Structure 1
Amino acid sequence: MLNKQFVALAAFLASSLLSPTNALPLDASIEARAPACDHWVDTWTSMPQLTEPANLPNPPFNQTGSVFVNSTIRQTLHMSIGGPQIRIRLSNAFGATQLNITAVTVALPYNNSAGQSIIETNTLQTVTFSGNNSIIIPDGSLAVSDPIHFPINPQSELAVSIYLAGGQLGNSITSHPGSRTTSFYQFGNAVSAANLTDASVQSVAHWYFLSAIEVWSPPQARGFAIVGDSITDGRGSTTNANNRWPDLVLARMQKNPSTKDIGVLNQAAGGNRILADGLGPNALGRIDRDVLAQSGIKYSMIFEGVNDIGTADSTTAAQDFVYNQLIQAYEQIITRIHTFGIPIFGATITPFSAPNSTIQAYSTPEREVTRQRVNQWIRTSGKFDAVLDFDKVVRSSANQSMLQDQYNSGDYLHPSPAGYQAIADSFDLNLFNRFAGGVSSYM
């Protein structure tokens, strides 16, 4: 009789865990069901960075000494892989003060569309943090929500609404300015509203405070973290269309049975450099946070270096110096990632020459020499586990220092949507099978 009672209790608890009505009470309650098999894998990420003054919300949401007081922010995110449960990560990595989160909800956006403020209210759920609706996130920290029974499909959209009653003190907050996706904010607590319709509502193409969505996944699921700059972040792509090149690679991967369980994670930011801070921390310094600390990572890649070359003085001495520093940094990044048995792919730097430097400031002969030298090292050194020759894909056959006309967004640096499609089409999906077992940590 006693054994039957325990079986009945276990069945009740299991059914409760699968209830779609709210967040699961404890992270461990999910993991206990399959501790050696299922696991958390990132399905979406954005690289956290300090919000520049120009990318803070407009007044009155941005005041002297505080941001987003009594404000609701609604943001839509493009998932990569699906699953039955999710967790949400909020970041205060660059906040100078604690971040007081009052309430968070999650829902499907209307018609599965990116960049809108209408949600499907029948899918609305409250997000909790260790059983509480609110959480205080200290400066420099992040928070992970309780698991939420919220099934999502691959390549679907997710709407997250955040309410801050007291806002964040100071004017240093964490965001991702290059969202290429419209977000909305208004005064008052509207996290459960079907639409944001207050007279105060504003829209902007930035993400605030959100850093990742994790999905509870079977053993074969894994993550692919891409470290990059504005070309990977999608400058030149179409707002709300999710046609950055990683999105387009994801679309191909979802049609391939051997790659459909791989989350594609865009850890790029406009203006980012490998060697020095600028728009976001330097790539060498953020590898631990943006690759190794992410959930379920089994593959990685770096497509970066153009801003290091382009911002260095256009002299032979300065360009020699940046070349040597870049090569050393690549090797350091490779060593760090290989320590964890994760393969890393390297992409060649795409062209940035223009008819004159007035059109594109990076365009000088000395910088082009450095780009060619760096690309030669990427192709021939054997240091990366695989090379993706994006330069070869988008360069002009008539002038290899320039983008093909149809792939030029207009600034001679960032590809057009057609250029991003060409990059995605060239991506060798067989790499994921080739390195399914990882790499030796002693490489």
Structure 2
Amino acid sequence: MVGSIFKTALATLVALQARAVEGAQRSSSPKSHWVDIWGSMPQLVEYTNMPPPPFNESGIVFQNASLRQTIFITQSAPTIRLVISNAFGGSDLPISSATLAVPLNGSAGTSAIKPESLAQVTWSGGLTNITIPDGARAISDPIQYPATAQEILTISMYLATGQTTNLITGHPGSRTNSYYSPGNVTALADVATLNATQTSQHWYFISAVEGYLPTSLGTRAISIIGDSITDGRESDNNENDRWPDNVLRRLQAPNATAVQKNIAVINQAAGGNRVLYDGNGPNALGRVDRDVLAQSGVTYAMVFEGVNDIGTAGTDAASQANVGDRLISAFDQMISMVHAKNIPMFGATITPFGGEGQAYSDPNREATRQRVNKWIRESGRYDAVVDFDAVIRDPANVSIINPEYDSGDHLHPNELGYTLMAEAFDLSLFDKYQNGVEERI
């Protein structure tokens, strides 16, 4: 009798385990998944980048006001969802309404939309409004709204009561026009027809757009951690011609492989960002979890930073020795964090900043740049290195940007420089590392 009971119990246990394994296999192999198809790095907005009055008053922003902002989609998807961030807000962020639309002429930075393309954004199962606590973010309900790679999407939001703080979340380096208007005009065909509408080149609150795609397509994303050079300082307003944008265009070209055509490019850079210290945004070492590992569908990572750490450290030999040592250690840590999730990490050499009138220009700082670049190139820690330094430096004086590629400030490339940087990115890396990497121990 006991043996019979034992056999029955054992058989039941085996059956339950088999079902559990079967369920786990099903859940670990979903037919579709979410992938970031656009993103920007959320940061605390500096007072110099706040919205203009009357949309910024003492203790409150965007009271009874609408925002219209445009973004550059990096991968096609039939169903999408919007992510709004209140990561650095000093109070709740109450979104009263939000809409999606196609811009009238398909251009970035335009105030007009195609009315027939308008779609309401909902939250938490059909709500048209949501209040996001400080430090949090909100993900919209899925929207059956086809998004197309390299096309522009317009996002409009209305805040009836405003956000009752002057500490808000945004991304100052949008490189595209945004519009602010009184009242709820999220469905208005052209907000520029209102005399009270104002504009600036900043994004506020919008953090990501995710696409829901069949896993069979192999769609995945690369997240790029960077500073103003990746954020596109000195690139053309409303043209989306930062170097990552130009990499995307290469990935979407007719001669790209099937793997390459299914890569979304997520720009997680911010002007003035540093690896070791907070400043314009959190430090890059502290951003790996949030801006790479927590992002939907990211299976590749890249870091291109360090110039602001070197350039803001003292010029004396001891200070430069310290910042060089710490940068190398921080890069090593970032690589380990990414490899722990079997994600390949690509690095990039730090580009020149020498030249008359450039505040960073200094012989000791240049020596640090060369030392850190030597480690980036030769350590073997990165899965691949893009040698941006070699691409844009002056062959006759390696401490400066080639004058043909210099925007004029001796730190940021011009349009040609950004184009050449994008061309230097080896697209075959996406094919090589499509199955990830083994963690190195």
SS in 2 for 1:402: strand
Q: Distance in 1 between matches of 2:277 and 2:438?
A: 29
**1:141 and 2:136 correspond:** yes
Correspondences of 1:42-441 after superposition (within 5 Å): 42-130=36-124, 131-196=126-191, 197-219=193-215, 220-255=218-253, 256-258=256-258, 259-354=260-355, 356=356, 359-441=357-439
Give the CA deviation at 1:83. Answer: 1.0
d(CA) in 2 for partners of 1:107 and 1:34?
Answer: 34
- 1:157 CA drift (Å): 0.4
Deviations 1:218-249 (A, max 9, x none): 22000100000000000010000010000000
| Separation of aligned partners in 2, 1:289 and 1:375 | 26
Instruction: Give distance in 2, aligned partners of 1:181 and 1:407.
Output: 22
Structure 1 CA distance, aligned partners of 2:90 and 2:341? 32
Q: Which runs of 5+ in 1 are unaligned?
A: 1-31
Give the C-alpha shift of residue 442 in structure 1.
4.2
**CA-to-aligned-CA distance 1:28-79 (integer Å, 9 cap, x gap):** xxxx999712111001000000011111111111111100000100000000
How far apart, CA to CA, are the structure 2 residues paired with 1:380 and 1:293? 29
- Displacement of 1:441 after TM fit? 2.9
Over the aligned positions, Cα root-mean-square deviation in angstroms equals: 1.3
1:87 Cα offset (Å): 0.4
1:373-416 CA-to-partner distances (Å, cap 9, x unmatched) read 00000000001111110000000111011111110000000000
- Alignment partners' CA distance in 2, 1:237 and 1:340: 33
TM-score of the two chains, using structure 1 as the length reference:
0.91
Amino acid at match of 2:359: A
Structure 2: distance between partners of 1:346 and 1:34: 30
Counterpart CA distance in 1 for 2:187 and 2:171 is 24
* Matched pairs, number: 409
Matches of 1:143 and 1:406, distance apart in 2: 44
* One-letter code aligned to 2:121: V
- Identity %, equivalent residues: 54
Give the match's secondary structure for 2:116: strand
Q: Secondary structure at the match of 1:409?
A: coil
Residue 156 to residue 33, structure 1, CA distance change in 2 (3 Å): farther
Residues 345-381 of structure 1: CA deviation (Å, up to 9, x unaligned): 0000001000x3xx10000000000000000000000
> What amino acid sits opposite 1:408 in the alignment?
D
Give, in whole Å, the separation in 2 of the partners of 1:321 and 1:418: 34
Structure 2: which 5+ runs fail to align? 1-25
Cα distance in 2, alignment partners of residues 94 and 199 from structure 1: 31
Q: CA deviation at 1:257?
A: 2.9
Paired with 2:164 and 2:339, the residues of 1 have a C-alpha distance of 40
Residues 314-367 of structure 1: CA distance to partner in whole angstroms, max 9, x if unpaired?
01000000001001100111111111110000000001000x3xx100000000
Give distance in 2, aligned partners of 1:83 and 1:278.
35
**Distance in 2, Cα, partners of 1:224 & 1:170:** 34
Separation in 1 of the partners of 2:102 and 2:39? 18
1:417, 1:236 → 2: CA distance? Answer: 8
Cα deviation, 1:270-324, whole Å, max 9, x if unaligned, reads 0000000000000001111111110000100000000000000001000000001
Q: For the residues of structure 2 that align with 1:294 and 1:441, how far apart are their CA atoms?
A: 20
**SS at the partner of 1:109?**
coil
In the alignment, the residues of structure 2 paired with residue 34 and residue 321 of structure 1 have an alpha-carbon distance, to the nearest angstrom, of 45
Paired with 2:378 and 2:440, the residues of 1 have a C-alpha distance of 21
Cα deviation, 1:60-103, whole Å, max 9, x if unaligned, reads 11111100000100000000000101100000000010000000
SS in 2 for 1:441: coil
Aligned residue for 2:375, secondary structure, equals: helix
1: CA distance, partners of 2:93 / 2:220 = 31
1:239-269 Cα distance to aligned partner (Å, 9 max, x none):
0001000000000001113301110000000
- Structure with max Cα Rg: 2
